[in-house]
Structures are given as structure tokens and as C-alpha cells.
Amino acid sequence: MASFLDRSRTVAGPGYSRWLIPPAALAVHLSIGQVYATSVYKSSLVEHFGASLTSIGVIFSIAIVMLGLSAAVLGKWVDHGGPRKAMFTAACFWAAGFFVAALGISTTQLWLVYLGYGVLGGIGLGIGYISPVSTLIKWFPDRPGLATGMAIMGFGGGALIASPLSNQLLRAYDPAFDGASGSVADGSAVAKLFVTLGVVYLVAMLYGAATIRVAPPDYAPAGWDPSTRKQQAMVTTAAVSAGNAVKTPQFWLLWVVLFCNVTAGIGILEQASPMIQDFFRDGGASAVTVVAAGGFVGLLSLGNMAGRFVWSSTSDVIGRKPIYMVYLGVGAVLYVLLALFGQSVTAVFVLLAFVIISFYGGGFATMPAYLRDLFGTFEVGAIHGRVLTAWSAAGVAGPLIVNRFLDARGTPGELVAADYRPALLTMVVLLVVGFVANLLIKPVAERFHEPIDQTSSAPAAAR
């Protein structure tokens, strides 16, 4: 097994098609993308544990914190150990998280859910998230935005599968859960759901680990000549180590950009299922059922997934800095419209939320390419892991902001659109801060570059 997982066993042979790599990455990212479907059973957990929205929201926050921390700490190990070993490890942690959480639900021990889905699952999230990214960037040096979009697209689309699947499984495991507004599944059904998902995702992620391949040294796509590529002002041909990257102002400005974009997106995603019901509770649209809300979660997942591919691919054409101006600037305007007018018509609410979440997903998918532009491909996976600590912070801030406002405004199941307004307008402020941070980003100073061996064109630190 150790030999099979070794990086040397994953180097592709001559003639290997790079288009066989995205399915392996998607197998992992579609699995760990389930984290975006937690709102489907959130009310059931509130009822089962007799806890507040904030207490249950902590499960999601712990998972995202551990995602960022594990990605930051283990980023170099993922880069140098290879994607197969990383994907295998991620599969074990992610599945174990579901199994331990199921035990916690069955025994009514909330701390076990924190430990399982939060800590163990979060470690699996972090390792699984970054494991295919640097691999795909090296397979697609001609289109890094497209490559990272393909890698991370599946993470955004995970809820597109998990949300309806979870609803159907809950209805199968608990006949009383009929999909009507206010219906919640019992704890036994949620525990069975977690066991089922753990098994399914373990199999899918092990498939991705078995089929992943790394590009041969000095790989270049047929017909592509790096020397003829038009260089943009923000794109470097130099290399910056992970250790030096964190010493640059560019790294921390990108950290702020990601934090603001993610916090705002989580503000909708983490509360999506009850949110659409609450927005139209006082507007005469009483027919927004749990089933329809689950469909809304799936639609947001589609927007999240599509944004990761479409917007990150667009960044290959217009550049990373301009595309983040769209994510943050236009996103702030749309958030204002959602807060003030979203309850007027269901279609308007859905459209605004869909575009906002597409920007959220696009911000994630474009970040590795932005890092590659500024710091080069040397240790880009490790740098990506470290900047994902912004996601950890946002995973705490986003749910905390929304849930604190909602807990103060009323009881779950009785909230209305106006109760969400203070939280949504807070997200607007964050997006404006991120917009300013992005404007301040400039090319990395030469003093942070790695020395180059003129005979091999490789950073000296890599030898």
C-alpha cells in the first residue's frame, strides 16, 4: 500500500492525456463539497439536540477551521508527498468524520459531532481540497484558471448531489419527514444518513486517489510554447517559496480578499434552506416548502459550481485582479439588492442569490491561479494551503454573524425577511473591504524570489 501511494508511482507515462486528471479531482471535490449541504438537516439537529442555531452552526465552523489549518500545516507534505497519498488520507479522515458524527447523533453527544464532522472531517476537507490543485496547474500551464476551475468546480457542486440525496434518504429513514414546511427528521434518521454518506464518499474518493497522475518533469502541452505566451503585468516567471510568500504584503492582501469573499458567501450558503422559507413567510408565498428549499440549496450549489468554472476560466482572459473586482464590487451591490428587495419576488431572490454564490465560488477557484501568477508554481500548493486559513476564519465569522443576528431577532421557524437584513448589510461592508484590498495588490518584489539555477531553470531550494 505504501508503495502504491508513493509519488513516484503516480508519474504519468508518455502520451498520457491530461484530460483524464479532472475526473479524479472531481471524485474528491464532489465528495467533500457535501459540507455545503449541511443546512438540509440543520433544523433536524437543532430539534434533536435541543440546541440553538449557533450551537449547531459551530459544527460547520469547526470543519472549515480545520480545513484551513490542515491545508496550511500539511500543504508542503501534499506538494512533496504527491496527490495520491494526500487523496487517500483525505478519504480516510472525511469518512471517519461521518462515522464518528453518526455515533454522536445516536448517543445525543453533540461533542462527538464536533469531533467527528468538525475536527476529523475538517482535516479530510483541507487535505482533499488542496491535493489535486497544484497537480492540475502543472498539467494545464497554458490555462491555470481553467485548471483550478475544473479542480474546485466539484467542491461547489457537491451539494447539488448531497442536498437532494440527503432529503430522499431522510424521507426513507424517517416516514414522518414528509417534506412539508417545518418538518424535521428524527435523530436516528440523521445518524443513518451520516453512515450512508460516509460509505459513499469513501468509495468515491478512493477511486480518485487510485486514478490520479502527476505530470512528468518539464511537461508542456502539445503546441504550447511558454516563451510565446503574452505576459501580463501581474504574472511572474519567477518562483517564491511558501516561507517567503507569507512575508509579502501580497499574501496578506489576498488573505483579506478571500476572507471577505468567503464570509459573505457563507452568509447565504450556511442558512440557505430555512432562508428562502423565512424570506417569503410574510409575503404571501407560503408554498415555499422544505422540498422547495432543498431545491434552492441545490440551485445555489449549481451556481457555486458554475461560477468556479466560468469565472475562473474568464480570469485567464481578463486577468485575476479585474475578476476579483467583479466578485467583490458587483457582489456588494447585489447583496444590497438582496437585503432590501429580495423578498419582493421569489424569482428575484433566487436570481440574486444565484449570482452572489457564483462569485463566491469563482473567488475560490481563481485564488490558486492568482497565487500562481504572483508567486510562481514552486510550492504553490503550500502557499494555497496557507492562504486558506482565511477560509477558516470566515468559517467562524460567517455563520457567527448570521446566526447571532437571527438568534437575537426571534425563534427559528418564525423569522421573516427583515430579520436577515442586518446580517446581509454587514456582508456588504466586508465585500467593500475586500474590494479595497484587491486594488492594493501589485507584483511581488524581486527580493522574495528564489535564486534560479541557470542550467536547469529550477529554484535552487528545490534541488
CATH at residue 94: 1.20.1250.20
Residue 232 — pLDDT band, cuts 50, 70, 90?
Answer: low
Which tens digits make up the pLDDT trace of 371-387?
Answer: 988 998 788 888 988 99
Q: What letter represents residue 49's amino acid?
A: F
Domain membership of residue 286 (yes or no) is yes
Residue 1 — pLDDT band, cuts 50, 70, 90?
Answer: low
Domain membership of residue 11 (yes or no) is no
Nearest-angstrom CA–CA distance, 179 and 277: 13
Whole-number percent of the chain with pLDDT over 90: 34
Provide the pairing of β-strand 458-459 with 452-453.
Answer: antiparallel
Q: With contact defined as beta carbons under 8 Å apart, do 190 and 45 qualify?
A: yes
Domain membership of residue 10 (yes or no) is no
Nearest-angstrom CA–CA distance, 184 and 405: 23
- Give the model's pLDDT for residue 359: 94
Q: Which domain holds residue 320?
A: 17-217+231-462
Q: How many structural domains does the chain have?
A: 1
The set of residues, in sequence order, having a beta carbon less than 8 Å from that of 329 and lying 6+ positions away, is 431, 435
- Give the model's pLDDT for residue 416: 67
Helix (H) or strand (E) holding 37: none
The set of residues, in sequence order, having a beta carbon less than 8 Å from that of 134 and lying 6+ positions away, is 78, 79, 368, 377, 380, 381, 384
Q: With contact defined as beta carbons under 8 Å apart, do 332 and 428 qualify?
A: yes
Domain membership of residue 352 (yes or no) is yes
pLDDT for residue 463 is more than 60: no
Average pLDDT, the chain: 84
- In a 10 Å sphere around its CB, with 0-12 CB exposed, 13-18 middle and 19+ buried, how is residue 350 labelled? middle
Which tens digits make up the pLDDT trace of 239-297?
Answer: 888 889 999 999 999 999 999 999 988 877 766 666 766 666 655 444 455 556 657 77
Q: What is the mean pLDDT of residues 143-169?
A: 81
Helix (H, G, I), strand (E, B) or coil at 332: helix
Whole-number percent of the chain with pLDDT over 70: 86
Domain membership of residue 223 (yes or no) is no
Instruction: Return the C-alpha cell found at 120.
Output: 476529523
Domain membership of residue 5 (yes or no) is no
- Residue 382: which region, alpha, beta or left (left: phi > 0; alpha: psi -120 to 50)? alpha
pTM of this prediction?
Answer: 0.78
Domain membership of residue 293 (yes or no) is yes
Nearest-angstrom CA–CA distance, 335 and 344: 14
Question: Which of 271, 304, 307, 292 is CA-nearest to residue 38?
Answer: 271
Question: Which of 164, 148, 163 is CA-nearest to residue 29?
Answer: 148
Q: What letter represents residue 145's amino acid?
A: G
Domain membership of residue 23 (yes or no) is yes
114 phi and psi angles, rounded to 5 deg: -60, -45
Q: With contact defined as beta carbons under 8 Å apart, do 275 and 420 qualify?
A: yes
Q: What letter represents residue 441's amino acid?
A: I
Residue 348 — pLDDT band, cuts 50, 70, 90?
Answer: confident
Q: What letter represents residue 18's amino acid?
A: R
CB atoms within 10 A of CB 455: 6
Which tens digits make up the pLDDT trace of 17-26?
Answer: 888 888 999 9
Residue 364 — pLDDT band, cuts 50, 70, 90?
Answer: confident
